[in-house]
Chain A
Amino acid sequence: MPDDILLRGTNIVKTFVLRGGAMGSKRVVTAVNGVDLEVRRGETFGIVGESGCGKSTLARCLVQLQPVTSGSIEFDGVDITTLSRRAMRPIRRNLQLVFQDPYASLNPRRTVGDIVADPMRVNKVGTKDEIMDRVGELFVLVGLDKSYLNRYPHEFSGGQRQRIGIARSLSLNPSLVIADEPVSALDVSVQAQVLNLMADLQEELQLTYVFIAHDLGVVRHVSDRVGVMYLGQMVEVGDADDLYDLPHHPYTEALLSVVPELNDTDAPKRERILISGDVPDPSDRPSGCSFHPRCPVATEKCKVETPTLVTLTTGRQVACHYPRNLSN
């Protein structure tokens, strides 16, 4: 059912040209390298990957904070990569971003009430009073006291600021919220509060989330489906529980095997697969499969031939010549 898909990205590519410091040399960095993704209405689509995998750049492209280099992004059936600023405006209301850093993403010179009201003022929805009523509602919704409206961001803790950021993103009743590492700056107990809040809001407001994080546990907890990124590409996409239980891509498998887990049951732990080295420089991408220099099962074929993301009968998508843990 095509109208089940709220957001569809096709072959999204984003490159940056870096002028290398004093030498003045130019380098082209491909941060996102041909990503396809489909986000279904009402679901949480998790994107997980290590730093430098391009997940944050992808997030900014998805909300058109940065133009894509090529590819298309369809939101509710409309390709938003070709829209003018003016034509984008009504759509942007439905498409909101929650930022990673609750300290840097709120203007320190404005009261938090104003911060939450701003999107509504800019888009001229309702009268002054209506807007202030709505701000009050939003505060209650995210679990903040209305009496805080006239305070400034520095008076709040990290968790409270992230609640304010969420309230701001919800002020225009979006249908899709893209959250880029919304809890990674928070202490674990506060992180749990924010995650629970986001889950409650999703149910109450029937939101669709794209949830981007590096923490594999957090992504499993929030997501219905998960995409794993490596060096600007989706290497595996699938149902969250299936993917975590039976990863097919060697990168996913290794990633999951090395997450330190609580030692609270006698259940056997995953066998640790240590992958060596660091993520390569995205301006100097390995040939063939980008993961092959670190892959424990790579062969000659992987050095030459770039695997494409193929859909298996189970619905899982994986970009690997030698997918693992297939039950046949």
Chain B
Amino acid sequence: MLRFVTKRLISAVLVLFSISVLVFLIFFATPGVNPAARIAGRSASPATLKAVEATFGLNRPIPIRYGLMMYHLFIKQDLSSYVNIGDKVIPQITQAAPVTLSLVFGAAVLWMVFGVWAGVIAAKNRGRFIDPFIMFVGIAAVSIPAYWLGEVVQLITQTSLHSSVFHWVPSTGFTPLSQNPLQWAVHLLFPWLTLAVLYAGIYARVLRSEMVNAMNEDYIRTARAKGLSERRILYRHALRCSLIPIVSLFGLDIGALIGGSALLIEVVFGLPGVGMLTYNSLTNLDLPVIMGTVMYGAFFVVLASAVVDILYAVIDPRVRVVS
């Protein structure tokens, strides 16, 4: 098991390295672009360009340029975005990350609870009215674009009903958890719900179909023949086996969302997270920050998929390969 974990982590590091190389090549070694201008910013003075060229070794071979870039990005952490010279990339990301993490983990708790609950209820009541009803609500939740739902929620809670029902909803923004937990939660409540709606819909549908399949498996028949209660069969046998694919889905979704997929929700609700940062740097063509956020995103996606693989070995004994 330990060997497996080590191997999996090493391969994750290799993947991250490859991504960093690829991103670097795309942004700063594409033929026909002047990397100095990209880093220094539009209409920078010749002197600035010279300085940038020297700092990043832009007249030296590509591997060294890559090394210097990574050195400035990760070790010295003084790579700065050109638009507001002085704003460094890494601090911007570390500032934005807690916002995204708060958003994603809060939403994840909600969608797991609702998704699993709805999926189990639907599977349990297969053939009755409640099952197609839940599945219809699920497909509706999946189909509604999250940003549109976000805008509607904003419209209702911030404007049309803000003076009556939703007077307790604070204006958009973020309060750190460490500062005021209550304000943190209230600020994030509607973003959480909006994001969770989509994923709860997906999870409910996936879990329901997994459970329905599981209930037709031979081992469920064995469990019945053992004289177990329907409840125990449903939760200890069918649900336990159906959760295996859910866990892998969950890990990958979390990774992608922390990595920046929550961008639209952050923008709609004005949350200064990594998605917002990416959005702003994209509109400004702020390449150093874009590179930083892409690498940050890749880090979480790769990390999540490594964690999923390891978790898989924990929850599904068949994956623990006999060595």
Contacts and interface: CB of A to CB of B under 8 A. Distances in A.
Interface of A: 20-25
A22 B317 CA distance: 12
Interface in B269-294: none
A21 B319 contact: yes
Query: Considering residues A20, A22, A24, which has the most beta carbons from chain B within 10 angstroms of its beta carbon?
Result: A22
A22 B3 contact: no
Contacts of B19: none
A22 B305 CA distance: 14
Contacts, number: 19
B7 interface: yes
B47 interface: no
B78 interface: no
B17 interface: no
A24 B3 CA distance: 11
19 contacts: A20-B321, A20-B322, A20-B323, A21-B319, A21-B321, A22-B4, A22-B8, A22-B309, A22-B313, A22-B319, A22-B321, A23-B3, A23-B4, A23-B7, A23-B321, A23-B323, A24-B7, A25-B321, A25-B323
Interface string B1-37: 0011001100000000000000000000000000000
Nearest to A23: B321
Nearest to A22: B321
Given A20-B321, A23-B4, 16 more contacts: A20-B323, A21-B319, A21-B321, A22-B4, A22-B8, A22-B309, A22-B313, A22-B319, A22-B321, A23-B3, A23-B7, A23-B321, A23-B323, A24-B7, A25-B321, A25-B323
Interface string B287-317: 0000000000000000000000100010000
A219 B321 CA distance: 37
Nearest to A21: B321
A287 to B, nearest CB: 22
Contacts of B319: 21-22
A25 B3 CA distance: 12
Interface residues of B, number: 10
A23 B322 CA distance: 8
B320 to A, nearest CB: 8
B137 to A, nearest CB: 36
Nearest to B7: A24
A92 to B, nearest CB: 38
Contacts of A24: 7
Nearest to A24: B7
A25 B320 CA distance: 13
Contacts of B7: 23-24
Contacts of A21: 319, 321
Contacts of B8: 22
Contacts of B313: 22
Q: Among B8, B319, B321, which residue has the most Cβ atoms of chain A within 10 A?
A: B321
A25 B321 CA distance: 9
A24 to B, nearest CB: 7
B84 to A, nearest CB: 46
Top 9 A-B residue pairs of the complex, sorted by shortest distance between their CB atoms = A21-B321, A23-B321, A23-B323, A22-B321, A20-B321, A25-B323, A22-B4, A22-B319, A23-B4
Nearest to B318: A21
Contacts of B4: 22-23
A265 B61 CA distance: 91
A141 to B, nearest CB: 40
A218 B323 CA distance: 39
A22 B7 CA distance: 9
A229 B4 CA distance: 37
Contacts of B309: 22
A168 B131 CA distance: 47
A242 B3 CA distance: 55
Contacts of A20: 321-323
A299 to B, nearest CB: 32
A291 B323 CA distance: 25
A21 B322 CA distance: 9
A25 B4 CA distance: 11
Contacts of A22: 4, 8, 309, 313, 319, 321
Interface in B134-150: none
Contacts of B3: 23
Contacts of A23: 3-4, 7, 321, 323
A21 B309 CA distance: 12
A314 B322 CA distance: 46
B243 to A, nearest CB: 19
Nearest to B323: A23
B310 to A, nearest CB: 10
A20 B321 CA distance: 7
A108 B8 CA distance: 41
A129 B309 CA distance: 58
A22 B322 CA distance: 10
Nearest to A25: B323
A252 B315 CA distance: 43
A20 B319 CA distance: 11
A99 B262 CA distance: 52
Nearest to B313: A22
A149 B291 CA distance: 63
A153 B28 CA distance: 58
